[in-house]
Amino acid sequence: MLDLNDVALFVHVVRYGSFAQAARLLGMPANTLSRRVQQLEDQVGTRLLQRSTRKLTLTQAGQAFHDRCSSAVEGLMEAGQQLISGSQEPSGTVRVAAMADFFDFFPMQWVADFLATHPKVRLDFVLSDARCDLIAERIDIAFRGGILQDSGYVGRQLLEARHDQMVASPAYLDRRGMPVTLEALAEHDAVSFTQPGHLTTWRLKGPGSAEHDVRIASRFTGNTAQALRKATLAGLGITLLPITIVAPDLHAGRLVPVLPDYYRTGYGLHVLYPSRQHLPLAVSAFIELIMERLGRQGFTARD
């Protein structure tokens, strides 16, 4: 029969990425921890971890074993912590991976509100456009845009694939006029992502889902959505951006829609987490916050 204590120690080692780090947090010698995991490997009859001087890597069998048992171990730990504390209050550190410009559309005030509501929770954000390994990097929650690849993680759609909308500032439209046809866009300036040459091509869908290729001269180009948004707010031209990025400006009147019957299909947003069951209360609470705040703006995916 497996020693469940050894299984729990194995889960901790995977979560913290090394025997040394896990041993420090568990308050036990690293060599003892290593011996207990080796004892577990002897019991199951296969190697679970590949060890090197630099890092630990799960074997295929180790990954499968971890996927099956980690949620149960976390659930038992959470239950024990709740019994000890006598409350259902979320606590602990939630490590969050997100795209580099995450806080350009996710207001920091939402984070402040969440931390004020849950004073025992700490948020640790890792912002990068590179895709992370949730287990190796000890990530509790990861946000990913675009098409969700089959990664073995648990995925939940937060935002449906929404339309990219053409928008411009009122000042620009007062100066240059509101285009009323796609052909009229040729007389305007574009604010767009960098492309070869000075012409930008937008493939738009219109009434009846007919597709149209529109070419418009770019007076300003950049490589981030926020650079384009700020240039458009400054009156430099018409841009085509995800509705989630420009929605606050549309609501405030800082930007207005241009030819709203024409759009480009964008991508959705997903949240990923390693375990299928027994999410820590702090993780569940943070996901609920996101769903609630996005829901207020009408952007959450339909169940």
What residue ranges define each of the domains in the chain, with the CATH number in brackets?
4-85 (1.10.10.10), 92-160+268-296 (3.40.190.10), 163-265 (3.40.190.290)
Task: Work out the pLDDT band at 301, boundaries 50, 70, 90.
Answer: very low
**Cα-flanking dihedrals φ and ψ of residue 94, to 5°?**
-110, 115
Determine the Cα–Cα distance for residues 74 and 273; give it in Å rounded to an integer.
13
SS3 percent helix, strand, coil of the chain, rounded to 5, is: 40, 25, 35
Torsion sign over Cα 31, 32, 37, 40: positive
Residues 133-156, mean pLDDT to the nearest whole number:
71
Q: Quick check: 40 and 2 in contact, CB under 8 A?
A: yes
Q: Quick check: 41 and 48 in contact, CB under 8 A?
A: yes
Task: Work out the pLDDT band at 153, boundaries 50, 70, 90.
Answer: low
Assess whether pLDDT exceeds 80 at residue 82.
no
Residues 108-119, mean pLDDT to the nearest whole number:
92
Task: Work out the pLDDT band at 233, boundaries 50, 70, 90.
Answer: very high
Identity of the highest mean pLDDT range in 74-83, 105-114, 146-155? 105-114
Beta-bridge mates of residue 218: 190
Provide the pLDDT for residue 302: 43
Assess whether pLDDT exceeds 50 at residue 252.
yes
User: Three-state DSSP class for 241?
Assistant: strand
Query: What are the pLDDT digits (tens) for 116-134?
Result: 999 999 999 998 877 777 7
Q: What is the CA radius of gyration of the chain?
A: 25
Report the DSSP pairing between strands 141-145 and 238-242: unpaired
Region label for 197, one of left (φ > 0), alpha (ψ between -120 and 50) or beta (otherwise)? left
Provide the pLDDT for residue 250: 94
**Cα-flanking dihedrals φ and ψ of residue 85, to 5°?**
-80, -20
Assess whether pLDDT exceeds 50 at residue 86.
no
* Mean per-residue pLDDT of the chain: 82
Determine the Cα–Cα distance for residues 256 and 258; give it in Å rounded to an integer.
7
Task: Work out the pLDDT band at 256, boundaries 50, 70, 90.
Answer: very high
